[in-house]
Structures are given as C-alpha cells and as structure tokens.
C-alpha cells in the first residue's frame, strides 16, 4: 500500500514540476520530460507491469493538460514503460548508465513520433529546425534531470523495499 501511495505522489510531483513550475523559467521554451524519466525509472526498477501502469497514468495526465491528440501520450508512455520494463531482469537498477541510455533513446523516439503525427495532421516543421530547436535541447535537459531524479527514485525504491521486507519479517514473527 505504501508503494502505491508513493508512486502516485511521485507521478503528481513530476507532473507538477514538468507542467507548472517549469513555466517559471523563462530562459527556455524546452522543458524536460520528467514523466518519461519516471516511467523509465519504474520500468527498470519494477518491470513491465509497473512501467506500463505508471506510463498509463502519466499519459492520461499529460493528455488531459497538453494533449492535442488525446491518447497519444497514453499509448507512447505505456509502450515505453512496457518495453523498458523488459530490461528489468537483464540490467542492474543501480547502473545509472542504463537509465541514461534508455531515457535518451525513449525521448528521441517519443519526439520523432510526435513530429510524424504533427506532420500528418498538417504542421509543417522543418526536420532540421525541429531537431535543433526542440528535440536535441529537450533530450539534453531531460538527461541532466535523469542523473538527478534516477538516483532519487532509486533511493526511494530502496527504502520502500527495506520497509516492505521489515514488515514481512515482523509479521512473520508475530504469527
């Protein structure tokens, strides 16, 4: 139960920082994709099911506030959580390099899919301008935040695992 509450709080905290607080910084129009960092982190630490669930909830929040095409973020975030979660048993969650690489690849794929969708629906951006002005700066700033947030999420996950293990041991002793 504690893990679910913490997960919901993390989703809302990342969403709040990504949507509301980031608007206070007027020096850039690009914002980090903190929801993507959260989804990749949960996928790597807990597996496909958790990554997919966090992706679904995050996608709904993003689509409700920003979505010009409702459901696109839900699908993209769910698929990202699912496929990154497949690496759960292959990689160690302590290795931040895996998280950084996964976030970079996922952010590039996420932005390219959005570029194609917007292009299909009539937005005519130059691919070069999109890459230079939007995608590359977003990937860089998201990776900077990944270094900070992944460590934070890892520490929170470790504490939750310790308390869950203590609860299981203490309940076993009481029986």
Task: Output phi, psi for 172, to 5 deg.
Answer: -70, -40
Q: Which residue has the higher pLDDT, 38 or 95?
A: 38
- What is the structure's pLDDT at 119? 85
Q: Where are the alpha helices (DSSP H) in the chain?
A: 2-19, 34-46, 48-66, 72-85, 96-120, 127-130, 136-174
Sorting pLDDT into bands at 50, 70 and 90, what band is 87? confident
Sorting pLDDT into bands at 50, 70 and 90, what band is 134? confident
pLDDT tens, 39-82?
999 999 888 999 999 999 999 999 998 877 788 899 999 999 99
pLDDT tens, 28-45?
678 889 999 999 999 998
- What would the CATH number be for the domain defined by 2-22+30-156? 1.10.1760
pLDDT tens, 4-17?
899 899 999 999 88
């Amino acid at each position: 139960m504690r893990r679910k509450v913490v997960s919901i709080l993390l989703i809302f905290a990342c969403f709040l920082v990504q949507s509301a607080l980031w608007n206070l910084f007027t020096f850039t129009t690009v914002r980090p994709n903190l929801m993507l960092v959260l989804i990749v982190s949960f996928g790597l630490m807990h597996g496909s099911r958790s990554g997919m669930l966090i992706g679904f909830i995050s996608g709904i929040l993003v689509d409700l506030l920003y979505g010009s095409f409702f459901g696109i973020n839900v699908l993209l975030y769910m698929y990202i959580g699912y496929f990154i979660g497949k690496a759960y048993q292959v990689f160690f969650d302590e290795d931040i390099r895996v998280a950084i690489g996964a976030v970079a690849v996922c952010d590039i794929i996420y932005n390219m899919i959005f570029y194609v969708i917007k292009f299909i629906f009539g937005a005519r951006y130059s691919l070069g301008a999109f890459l230079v002005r939007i995608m590359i700066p977003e990937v860089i700033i998201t990776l900077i935040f990944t270094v900070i947030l992944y460590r934070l999420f890892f520490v929170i996950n470790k504490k939750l695992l310790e308390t869950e293990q203590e609860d299981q041991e203490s309940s076993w002793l009481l029986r």
